[in-house]
């Protein structure tokens, strides 16, 4: 027998596999396919204060080893999420979930986190700081250590739940941003969000995506994610949820060796709807192959 249980801020997960926000909705589509209670947890669709339709379509583009999306945080808004989506989600998923929160001002983050703090099923709040800050010329909160810290402090002041800051990889020094979030009171770090990318259609000579640019994800970004998790692990003394291109049990182990305590699976869910189930089922066997009896023994193992 091997041990796949890991602990994030006092919450024990049966395994480290967590579908990433925006690739799993509120779980219902996948609950039709398999019992999603086998998951460690899942991070539900990014939620904002106001309802959002998101960006114009096309929002999706094919890439080698991945895809670009510019969905633009489509969601029904925090009130509807709490009133309608969470009660439905509770019927198909019975473990603590991760609430992914986005905002366009510090006040919006605070508003949403205050509301979501009241929800029993939410185990962790994952704060997405990759959104543009309307008060600072649209620059992403996550690209400035000071602003990321400001969001962290403001959110921590209004919730008792553990707060994980989900960092953008579109920065020059991700470790220093993680460090300032730690100093501002973050309980953990999630990384990486998507990399900014673009595709141009040769037939039209124009960008494929209506919004021109979007977030690049999929297996192609895995090495970038491993590198950044490794760097952040060196910089902070906080649990890390690693993500970016994870699509196999081997990727999970690699991400954990880099320093992740748990691992999110994103784009792969969209093309292989059973991917999380498959990873969970194969993980013990792959652990045995590498002589691993307890996953906790390998967290950050590459640094030793």
Partner 1 sequence: MKQSLFKIIKNEPLTSTVYRMILEGDTSAITRSGQFLNIKLDGLFLRRPISVCDYDDNTITILYKVVGKGTEGMSKLSPASILDILTGLGNGYDTTKSGNHPLLIGGGVGVPPMFRLAKDLIAEGKNPKVILGFNTKDETFYIEEFQHLGAEVLIATADGSIGTKGFVTDIVKELCDYTYFYTCGPEPMLKALSDCTTTSGQLSFEERMGCGFGACMGCSCETKYGNKRICKDGPVLEKEEIIW
Task: Judge whether 131 counts as a catalytic residue.
Answer: yes
Torsion, CA 267, CA 270, CA 271, CA 275, rounded to 10: 80
Q: Looking at residues 114 to 143 of the shown chain, list those that interact with partner 1 (rule: CB under 8 A).
A: none
The first and second tokens of residue 239, run together, are 């649990």
Residue from the set 18, 71, 189, 232 that interacts with partner 1 by CB under 8 A: 71
C-alpha count within 13 angstroms, C-beta hemisphere, residue 19: 31
Smallest distance from partner 1 to CB 210, Å: 10
Strand partners, 181: none
Q: Residue 24, interface with partner 1 (CB under 8 A)?
A: yes
Does 29 contact partner 1 by CB under 8 A? yes
Applying CB under 8 A, which part among 65-73, 86-94, 184-192, 227-235 lies near partner 1? 65-73
State residue 163 phi and psi, 5-degree precision.
Answer: -110, 120
C-beta of 70 vs 152, nearer to partner 1: 70
- Buried b / exposed e across 189-214, counting CB within 10 Å, b at 16+? bbbbbbbbbbbeeeeeeebbbebeeb
Choice from 2, 5, 12, 33 touching partner 1 (CB under 8 A): 33
Per annotation, catalytic residue among 63, 112, 113, 131: 131
Work out the burial of residue 57: count CB atoms within 10 Å of its CB; fewer than 13 is exposed, 13-18 middle, 19 or more buried: exposed
Number of residues this chain uses to bind partner 1 (CB under 8 A): 34
The set of catalytic residues is 131
Residues that bind partner 1 (CB under 8 A): 22-25, 29-30, 32-33, 45, 53-54, 57-67, 69, 71, 74, 208, 218-219, 267, 269-271, 273-274
């Amino acid at each position: 027998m091997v041990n796949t249980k890991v602990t994030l801020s006092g919450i024990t997960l049966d395994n480290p596999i967590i579908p990433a926000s925006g690739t799993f909705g509120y779980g219902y589509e996948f609950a039709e396919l398999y019992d999603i209670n086998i998951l460690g947890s899942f991070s539900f669709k990014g939620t904002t204060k106001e309802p959002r339709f998101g960006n114009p379509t096309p929002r999706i583009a094919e890439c080698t080893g991945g895809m670009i999306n510019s969905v633009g945080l489509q969601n029904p808004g925090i009130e509807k999420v709490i009133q309608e989506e969470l009660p439905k989600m509770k019927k198909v998923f019975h473990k603590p979930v991760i609430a992914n929160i986005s905002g366009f001002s510090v006040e919006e983050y605070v508003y949403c986190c205050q509301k979501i703090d009241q929800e029993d099923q939410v185990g962790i709040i994952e704060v997405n700081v990759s959104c543009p800050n309307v008060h600072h010329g649209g620059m992403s909160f996550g690209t400035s250590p000071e602003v990321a810290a400001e969001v962290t402090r403001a959110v921590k002041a209004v919730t008792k739940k553990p707060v994980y800051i989900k960092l953008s990889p579109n920065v020059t020094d991700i470790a220093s941003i993680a460090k300032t979030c730690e100093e501002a009171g973050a309980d953990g770090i999630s990384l990486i969000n998507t990399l900014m990318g673009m595709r141009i259609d040769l037939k039209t000579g124009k960008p494929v995506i209506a919004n021109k640019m979007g977030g690049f994800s999929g297996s192609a970004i895995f090495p970038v994610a491993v590198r950044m998790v490794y760097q952040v692990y060196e910089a902070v003394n906080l649990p890390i949820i690693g993500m970016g291109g994870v699509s196999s049990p081997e990727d999970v182990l690699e991400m954990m060796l880099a320093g992740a305590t748990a691992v999110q699976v994103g784009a792969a869910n969209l093309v292989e709807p059973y991917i999380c189930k498959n990873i969970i089922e194969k993980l013990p066997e792959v652990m045995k192959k590498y002589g691993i009896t307890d996953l906790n023994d390998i967290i950050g193992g590459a640094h030793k």
